[in-house]
Amino acid sequence: MRISISAIAAFSALATAILAQQPSPEARVQDALTLVLDRKYEQFYALFSPEMKKAISLQTYSAQVDQIMTALGKPTGQDAPRSTTAQGSVLVTIPVHWPAASLNFLVSLNKAGQIQGTWFRPGDAPKPAKYDCPPYSDPSAFTARELNAGDLPGTLDIPRGKGPFPALVLVHGSGPHDRDETVGGTRPFRDLAEGLASRGIAVLRYDKRTFVKSPGALPKDGITMTWETVDDAVRAAELLRSQPDIDPKRIFVLGHSQGGYMVPRIVKADPKLAGAIVLAGNARPLPTLAAEQTEYLAELQGSISVEQRAGVEAVKKDPWSALPGIPESYKRDLDGYDPAALVRTSSVPLLILQGERDYQVTMTDFGLWKKWLAGRVNTDFRSFPNLNHLFVAGEGKSTPAEYERTAHVGAEVVDAIAAWIKAR
């Protein structure tokens, strides 16, 4: 409805008072999260848009979320909400912490303020206050310049000296990540970028599309893993080919976790790549990993209650229930996806690296890559006994709490990647 200037003048005081009483999107989602944590699912469901209610029933949503609440127990805290806007919709994210895990509670609000999407995604611990360069980073050996990857803010670390240089695009894991892929006290992508730039390899890292405030036009058929991961990686690689100090024939990509899972699609979309690196990329479907992680985290505390065990078993029977609210478009995009079969159709050289202490993407996945790609030419494998999912060293079982300490990617990983790229 269009309001005239005179009407605005007449009712400005009243409008100001009304608007002041209206909760912000962040406050509304904070209240919604309280309903979920208190297991008041019916009241939470009442906030759904008509379209959302058609997509999922109260019974189904309640069952899915209750399994997560049961498996994780009582949360220990949460961080301040953050929001982004796109095409009139607002996406609010609230990190929630449990003893064994951190998850992001995400809610998408339509123009009417109704919930049009909601899900839990793997979350991050708070960012460290300061970043200290790892010992293998030599700031005198490279420079850093801002280079947007399309509409995504980015940084290009480039070696000093005479080029053109080989270059690497870093592709994030799951969740809304900044260009450093900050997770707790670790900034894996910054470590890799500075370490590799110190060794003569240019590295482009950029803020993930789901992290930026204005993620751009959403796909008409709904968001997908291809949209949030593959498309931007391909655009970034093409951008590097246009840089005067980069060798256009020596462009590589490195995908971590979800990014590694999508490497086969990336090399399929860009067969001109000189090589691709899978860093803790899963070979198995996302729901399988979600169920496995749910059980691992539930048992990590030593004892597990009968109620928690029931929740774990329910997730194992229906793995997608561990990821409630994932859009159907996202599921369809992954339906039937076979990363090993797809990458076998490509001749792009491949390096697969794995931390043996990783509980998110395990040695089972690494073993499957080796089995399924046996005999594929230009394919190399290496695992690191003491490293976790972030390729940070530790001892014993890996835990989410381990991610919170300030730490750096192992030097042996940087060395392995540099040697492999230089050999090509």
- Of the candidates 42, 97, 143, 87, which has an alpha carbon nearest to the alpha carbon of residue 401? 97
Could you count the other beta carbons within 10 Å of the beta carbon of residue 299? 16
CB within 8 A of 147, min separation 6: which ones? 154, 155, 156, 204, 239, 243
d(CA 391, CA 389): 5
d(CA 254, CA 346): 16
Which residue is catalytic, options 97, 256, 389, 408? 389
CB within 8 A of 9, min separation 6: which ones? none
Alpha helices (runs of H) in 276-349, residue ranges in sequence order: 286-300, 306-317, 328-334, 339-343
* Axis-axis angle for helices 188-197, 411-422 (nearest 10): 50
Cβ atoms of 59 and 188 within 8 Å: the answer is: no
Residue/partner pairs of 218-222 with CB below 8 Å, 24 or more apart: 218/86, 218/87, 218/89, 219/329, 221/329, 222/327, 222/328, 222/329, 222/330
Cα three-residue angle 34-310-291, rounded to 5 degrees: 80
Which residue is catalytic, options 257, 321, 346, 398? 257
d(CA 412, CA 320): 36
Answer yes or no: 389 catalytic.
Answer: yes
Answer yes or no: 257 catalytic.
Answer: yes
Query: DSSP states of 227-246 as a string?
Result: IIIIHHHHHHHHHHHT-TTE
Cβ atoms of 424 and 349 within 8 Å: the answer is: yes
Which residue is catalytic, options 358, 365, 398, 408? 358
d(CA 25, CA 23): 7
Answer yes or no: 256 catalytic.
Answer: no
End-to-end alpha carbon distance in the chain: 62
Which class for 20: exposed (0-12), middle (13-18), buried (19 or more C-beta within 10 A)?
Answer: exposed
Catalytic positions, written as ranges: 257, 358, 389
